[in-house]
Structure 1
Amino acid sequence: MSSIKVECVVKAHNEIGEGPVWEEKDATLLYVDIYGPSISRWNSLTKETERMSTETYVGCVVPRSSGGYVIGEGTRFAAVDWEKRSITTITHVDTEKSNTRFNDGKVDPAGRFFAGTMAVEVRPTELERKQGSLYALQPDHSVVKHLDQVDLSNGLDWSPDHHIFYYIDSLKYMVEAFDYDLQTGGISNRRMVYRLKEDEGIPDGMCIDAEGKLWVACYNGGRVICIDPQTGTRLQTVQLPVAKITSCCFGGKNYSDLYITSATKGMDEEALAKQPEAGSIFKVTGLGVKGIPSYSFSG
């Protein structure tokens, strides 16, 4: 059994660090600070971070196969030209609502960009309920709405065989699964795969490993838990030195490192003094599992 090591690799006080994505070609970690609001790229070789501000809350960022990135920002999907530091609207969602914003998102194995919304928070995790939706930006730039009445759209990923879509609506305190049709992008047969225990906090972002096990970030829980969605059991817990754990992704050589984002939003000076690394990004090695490379938006 290899020994698990947790290391703080990007010392930062991100308000809500989120949505990490490993970019293999440059060995960089891409992520957002929702309230920054900004997109950052941390180079694992030079240890330098490049940052780009966005116009408003940015929930997620994903690579685009034609170059650059696509973000869920405010209530729009937008294209990012990293070299020019420019952002161009692709399309708007939630047009009938004034109080929502994008949160987490990820690209499916066919190149569609799934991202969900939530009501803008009064205080962390305090928000108007049932205001969010789950959308998918198609390669032709049309948008499909898959779910509405969502409280806080969050972590999402697909099983290695692409037949199952996993999803978190945070305030339900559980991880859910749907049957997934890769041809159409359709989801059906919603079911619960894991309910979080009292001390595990609020389920936030998540990712899947090559064996099909889920790694779930526990906001206010100070940990990432590994779940077997087949049996609904918790297999492993990775404890972190900060409480507000927001998301995770596999990266590094052979995708064997787990990168974890965290937040400071809502913490007072006393709490920050006790958790000086809050808002930083951590790398966990020695887990003995591998992740799956991320997909790029194909539109």
Structure 2
Amino acid sequence: MAHPKIEAVVKERHRMAECPVWEEKAGQLLFVDINAGTVCRWSPLSGDVQTVGLGDRVGCVALHGQMGSYVVASGTRLGLLDWDSAQVQWLAWLDRDKPHNRFNDGKVDPAGRFVAGTMPEASAPGVWQPGQGSLYTLYADHLVVRQLDRLGISNGLDWSLDHRTFYHVDSLAYAVQAYDYHLQTGSVENPRLLYQLPQAQGMPDGLCVDATGMLWVACIDGGSIIRLDPQTGTRLCTLELPVSRVTSCCFGGPDYSELYVTSAADGLSREQLQWEPQAGHVFKVTGLGVRGLASRPFAG
């Protein structure tokens, strides 16, 4: 790997910044602060950050075909956020039988469907009830189908370049899984372990695929992002960040050569926060020598 340059570009202490998405048409970065319940937009040109509060924890955000409209997963609901009015048209309410669940990470698949997973809230710091999470698909007609259940913490997700493989993180299992993906239907099957993280490496969180088909996986509490070869299941390199709670990543910028990385301040002690003045900031990494892919808009 080339010698990358890492710089904090959004220098605000977010509680749990997550799910970065590059919006090419506007040349800006979307992300959420889960614990603050906000969706955020950052402009590299002005340096300004705009926020919309949703009044509940918001797990992820994705592009929508209409400018100024975004897909959001907040609490256990899926909806369309109109940015200018800050109003959400709620489309579905899931996991009603699990009052302690919430949506976590999500992304639009190659056919324009929105795929997002749920997880239980921690019963104590670092303690989650196993088997409570599910993975859902929101179709263009707003039908919702549960694709997977009995997950620990449904997290980072993306697809192979040929769209035939679905990559998915179950954080509680410290595992990156691969599934066969049926693009026509959106169904997933045939799970197999792609990479098992040792606990000392940190818990796997968000992920993205680059233009060569390699995976970039954020390791929360590991202070790093690892690059994996999904064909061999091997770790190619490790990108060390100046913060420990690294949450997710996406490629962006004019030519998708910039890797944007989100981080969290929640979960750190007062002493740890003094050691990590950039905890909760959003970082830009350049000089990696690879490019990413454009995010897809929801087709509904």
Taking structure 1 as the reference length, the TM-score comes to 0.98
Partner of 1:296: 297
Partner of 1:205: 206
CA distance in 2, matches of 1:121, 1:49: 29
Name the SS for the 1:199 alignment partner: helix
CA distance in 2, matches of 1:256, 1:98: 41
Partner of 1:159: 160
Partner of 2:280: 279
- Residue pairs, 1:23-102, within 5 angstroms: 23-67=23-67, 68-102=69-103
Name the SS for the 1:273 alignment partner: helix
- Residue pairs, 1:104-143, within 5 angstroms: 104-143=105-144
Q: Does structure 2 retain, via aligned residues, the 8 Å contact 1:66–1:298?
A: no
CA distance in 1, matches of 2:128, 2:191: 24
- Residue pairs, 1:182-197, within 5 angstroms: 182-197=183-198
Partner of 2:15: 15
Shift of the alpha carbon at 1:124?
4.7
Cα deviation digits, residues 208-237 of structure 1 (max 9, x gap): 001110000000000000000101111111
Shift of the alpha carbon at 1:284?
0.6
Name the SS for the 2:25 alignment partner: helix
**Percent identical residues:** 51
CA distance in 2, matches of 1:137, 1:124: 31
Shift of the alpha carbon at 1:88?
2.0
Once superposed, what is the RMSD of the aligned Cα atoms? 1.0
Name the SS for the 2:296 alignment partner: coil
Shift of the alpha carbon at 1:125?
3.6
Shift of the alpha carbon at 1:27?
1.2
CA distance in 2, matches of 1:12, 1:128: 32
Shift of the alpha carbon at 1:199?
2.8
Further displaced range: 195-204 or 182-191 = 195-204
Shift of the alpha carbon at 1:3?
2.4
**4+ runs deviating over 6 angstroms:** none
Classify 1:51/1:124 alpha carbon distance in 2 versus 1 (closer, same or farther; 3 Å): farther
CA distance in 2, matches of 1:110, 1:291: 18
Cα deviation digits, residues 44-64 of structure 1 (max 9, x gap): 111110011112000000111
Name the SS for the 2:146 alignment partner: strand
Shift of the alpha carbon at 1:186?
1.2
Name the SS for the 1:171 alignment partner: helix
Classify 1:42/1:124 alpha carbon distance in 2 versus 1 (closer, same or farther; 3 Å): farther
CA distance in 1, matches of 2:198, 2:128: 22
Classify 1:32/1:118 alpha carbon distance in 2 versus 1 (closer, same or farther; 3 Å): same
Taking structure 2 as the reference length, the TM-score comes to 0.97
CA distance in 2, matches of 1:236, 1:259: 17
* One-letter amino acid of the structure 1 residue matched with residue 266 of structure 2: K
Partner of 2:266: 265
CA distance in 2, matches of 1:143, 1:178: 19
- What is the aligned length? 299
Shift of the alpha carbon at 1:65?
0.7
Classify 1:287/1:135 alpha carbon distance in 2 versus 1 (closer, same or farther; 3 Å): same
Q: Does structure 1 retain, via aligned residues, the 8 Å contact 2:204–2:220?
A: yes
Further displaced range: 34-43 or 188-197 = 188-197
CA distance in 1, matches of 2:124, 2:265: 12
Partner of 2:257: 256
CA distance in 1, matches of 2:80, 2:233: 38
Partner of 1:227: 228
Q: Does structure 1 retain, via aligned residues, the 8 Å contact 2:174–2:199?
A: no
Shift of the alpha carbon at 1:123?
4.1
* One-letter amino acid of the structure 2 residue matched with residue 187 of structure 1: V
Cα deviation digits, residues 236-293 of structure 1 (max 9, x gap): 1110010000000000121011000000112121110000000000111011111010
Note the residue ranges of structure 1 that are not aligned, 5 or more in a row: none
CA distance in 1, matches of 2:227, 2:39: 27
CA distance in 2, matches of 1:173, 1:276: 27
